[in-house]
Structure 1
């Protein structure tokens, strides 16, 4: 059943504390997660354990050209100054997420393909061959780079899940398209192990796909629910923790359909703020988890802090 983006889904008494960090939550038989590692951070969500995995981080110049499409230089500088960040440069974070449902280990996105995902999983006490399901929120290079290692599947025992419009679009690109070529080398060889989900479909029990097309033709976010507690993995819905929240209408260079991306951003951020549901965003500052609050005509990302600690 599709998740309705309204306040109809009322939260219980635990709404303000949807999940808490665990000291050493069990992820798989004989393994434990280091809850406070510098590259692996675990939280409890009902009966699920959710672990964010820092695959890498790097600075990038030209922030306004990337995140401030439609803004004046003065507007962009003002919002940056109000939030104590440079208007000229941004720090990028790349954060796949591991969800232990109690019966399966589900990995969302695979990182850059430079070894970071393996290192973060190791800090979480997990080996790549233990992953049961790999979900691709979309197929930009920083999300599919870790699909293979030395031309072999990194997650050899996993099945794969993505949206059909995403796979169909990139696999139809002619040779020479950077992303299409990467999909051909990283994703297509695993196509026989892949299933496609639509809006409202379950990946596994408690993990539901939500279509947020715009960033790419088949971009999906994922709604998690366990024992009455909820969280949304927002993938690349919002690419920066300040600019994309304060002004969801500011165009992002990486968004392919900028109008659709803006609409999706406002829809999901509005849901998160109204229902006080926590989020994990792929490019948020590590550990990439937090809340969203309404601020003026936009929003503010409130990063994880003591409120999620048990």
Structure 2
């Protein structure tokens, strides 16, 4: 079980994240922030593979070049310590490339989309490519049966709506009940978390009548089970997929950098609302992934965002997938 309560400090931390999540996305829709550049191929990158009887399709919704990665993924650490770890892993110390990777799971009876990317607001700076990526792979927006939101930061929910209404017009929705309760609460008004609250009111609340609200142990569909991994947000969820004797864990934003957040899981991350709880969730989730030797798909892992971890003394080493799912 990975059930955590919402600590008072998570509500206070929410004041910080609100300025970094949905409002950040809205700001970037008008133009990339100084020092950031956007990179996106003309045709969205995609990767498909099977897990038992399930078919998975990962779409790269976009990427963002970030300055000074240690200020995001190693807050409070000595800059030289962060730089040394990046250099040991053959990475630049002054920049990192952050991707956004929604996944469509075709169970054979339903097409279930996990997270929706940046949507129309992101297209001015090269993101918001999920819709085009699905169509390029033969999936029309109306073909999506279920949309699952792992948590309600802007880069996961902005693609819920197009200018003419819901982006996936025939879908029903799955939201975390704790996550929805936090972001939809008018108590966020008048606090630094107000921006995230306003985004949820605009994008999530209108869909609530057609939504199922889930918690630890809930089943999205046969073979897809909810697990709570709170900390990044007050109701952040991960999802275990099981089909044909095979497993894969959708870890969402439990870890957001394949070196800094995995090799040093206890380091604080600027975007985590409750930093200690987020670190504890990272340990629980990736201890399980390592012990069971199962693959995971992380929303911000390097495309195609799937890999394995091996436990070390301090954390975990990431190994990206190659041909495991094709033989």
TM norm structure 1: 0.86
Match of 1:103 in 2: 109
* Greater helix content: 2
Equivalent-residue separation in structure 2 for 1:72 and 1:174 (angstroms): 35
Q: Secondary structure at the match of 1:230?
A: strand
Task: Give the unaligned 5+ runs of structure 2.
Answer: 4-42, 121-127
Please state how far the C-alpha of 1:3 moved relative to its aligned partner. Answer: 9.0
Deviation at 1:151, TM superposition (A): 4.7
Q: Where do residues 1-310 of structure 1 align in structure 2 (5 Å cutoff)?
A: 39-114=45-120, 115-172=128-185, 173-174=188-189, 177-310=194-327
Cα deviation for residue 296 of structure 1 reads 2.5
Instruction: Name structure 1 gaps, 5 residues minimum.
Output: 5-36
Query: Could you report, residue by residue, the CA deviation over 1:168-221 in whole angstroms, capped at 9, with x for unpaired residues?
Result: 111112178221111111111111011111101100000000000100010000
Q: Does the CA contact (< 8 Å) of 1:39 and 1:123 recur in 2?
A: no
Preserved CA contact (<8 Å) 1:3 1:200: no
Describe the SS at the equivalent of 2:278.
helix
Kindly state the Cα deviation for residue 108 of structure 1 after the two structures are TM-superposed: 0.2
Partner Cα separation in structure 2 for residue 247 and residue 304 of structure 1: 21
Q: What's the secondary structure of 2:142's corresponding residue? A: helix
Query: For the Cα contact (< 8 Å) 1:198–1:211, is it kept in 2?
Result: yes
Deviations 1:210-235, CA, capped at 9 Å, x for gaps:
00010001000000000110000000
Q: Is the 8 A contact 2:224 2:241 kept in 1?
A: yes
Superposition deviation, residue 38 in structure 1: 5.6
In the comparison of the two structures, how many residue pairs are matched? 277
Residue pair 1:141, 1:182 contacting (<8 A) in 2 also: yes
**Separation of aligned partners in 2, 1:70 and 1:91:** 21
Counterpart Cα distance in 1 of 2:203 and 2:44: 28
Q: SS of the counterpart of 2:56?
A: strand
SS at match of 2:262: helix
Distance in 2 between residues matched to 1:112 and 1:124, nearest whole Å: 19
Please report the RMSD computed on the Cα atoms of aligned residues, expressed in angstroms: 1.6
Are the equivalent residues in 1 in contact too, given 2:290–2:311 (CA < 8 A)?
A: yes
Cα distance in 2 for partners of 1:292, 1:70 equals: 25
Deviation at 1:123, TM superposition (A): 2.1
Shift of 1:283: 0.3
Where 1:243 maps in the other structure, the secondary structure is coil
Structure 1, 227-236 or 74-83: larger mean CA deviation? 74-83
In structure 1, C-alpha distance between the alignment counterparts of 2:131 and 2:243, rounded to whole Å: 27
Q: Tell me the TM-score normalised to structure 2 length.
A: 0.82
Distance 2:44 2:312 in 1: 31
Distance 2:314 2:307 in 1: 20
Q: 1:40 & 1:89 partners in 2: Cα distance?
A: 24
User: How far apart in 2 are the matches of 1:286 and 1:224?
Assistant: 19
Query: Matched residue of 2:261: which SS?
Result: helix
- Runs of 4+ in structure 1 displaced over 4 angstroms? none
